[in-house]
Structure 1
Amino acid sequence: MSEILGLAALAFGLFFSVIGVVGLIRMPDVYCRLHAAGKVSTLGLCGLLVAAAFLLPEVTLKVIALALFAVLTLPVGSHAIAAAAYRSRTPLARAVRDDLAAKVEQS
């Protein structure tokens, strides 16, 4: 039973990783790409780590620690990259609305 759950989690993680690659290719600008990469990398990695926990029970505690670390740090890294891209005036796609520009100009 644990092998079936492990393989299902592996398929889940691989599916989200592939969707992330497609998102990186198809998205128009760096901000949309970061959104796709940030969300999908967290889900894909956690799926692969859950698969490792089911398939290799002796490393479950290490996998839980890695998953917790990933869930806490991957979104922070994506936010830092997006903030740096915005501050360096990386252009937005034409279809994207910039709600932050007015607030940045006021401060």
Structure 2
Amino acid sequence: MMELVGSIIILAGAFFLFSAGLGLLRMPDAFTRIQAGTKASTLGNILVLVGLGFYHPDWSLKLLIVAYFVLMTNPLSSHALSRAAHRIGIPMAASTFTDALRDAENEQKGKGAQ
């Protein structure tokens, strides 16, 4: 029974990892690709690790450490990539209406001039 539960969870993780790869191909600009790749792959990786935990309960501590590492590094790396892409002027998709980072930077510049 535990193997069946583990297999189903791993399959769900594989689905999210596949959707992350599909998002990298389908999204219109670098910023949405980064988001699609990060969110779906983080969830997919965590689900695969949980599924492996059902298969090998004695690996639980190691899998928990790996899951913590994934949860800490994926969002941080995507944030750093997005800020770097914004800073060097990578264009956003034409359908993007709001650039909150640009607005915040302009607001900071306005406060600094006073």
Identity of aligned residues (%): 36
Task: Give 1:2's aligned residue.
Answer: 2
Gaps of 5+ in 1: none
Task: Give 2:104's aligned residue.
Answer: 103
CA distance in 2, matches of 1:80, 1:99: 16
Q: How far is 1:90 from its partner? A: 0.5
**TM-score between the two structures when normalised by the length of structure 2:** 0.88
**TM-score between the two structures when normalised by the length of structure 1:** 0.93
CA distance in 2, matches of 1:100, 1:79: 12
Moved more, 95-104 or 71-80: 95-104
Task: Give 1:86's aligned residue.
Answer: 86
Task: Give 1:64's aligned residue.
Answer: 64
Q: How far is 1:59 from its partner? A: 1.0
CA distance in 2, matches of 1:12, 1:102: 38
- The amino acid across from 1:17 in the alignment is L
* Secondary structure in 2 matching 1:91: coil
Q: What does 1:2-21 align with in structure 2 at a 5 Å threshold?
A: 2-21=2-21
Moved segments of 4+, more than 6 Å: none
CA distance in 2, matches of 1:102, 1:46: 34
- The amino acid across from 2:59 in the alignment is V
**Aligned-residue CA RMSD in angstroms?**
1.1
- The amino acid across from 2:66 in the alignment is L
Task: Give 2:35's aligned residue.
Answer: 35
CA distance in 2, matches of 1:2, 1:12: 15
* Secondary structure in 2 matching 1:6: helix
Matched positions, count: 107
- The amino acid across from 1:72 in the alignment is M
The answer on 1:46 being equivalent to 2:46 is yes
Q: How far is 1:4 from its partner? A: 1.3
- The amino acid across from 2:105 in the alignment is V
Q: How far is 1:99 from its partner? A: 3.0
Q: How far is 1:60 from its partner? A: 1.1
Q: Which has the larger radius of gyration?
A: 2
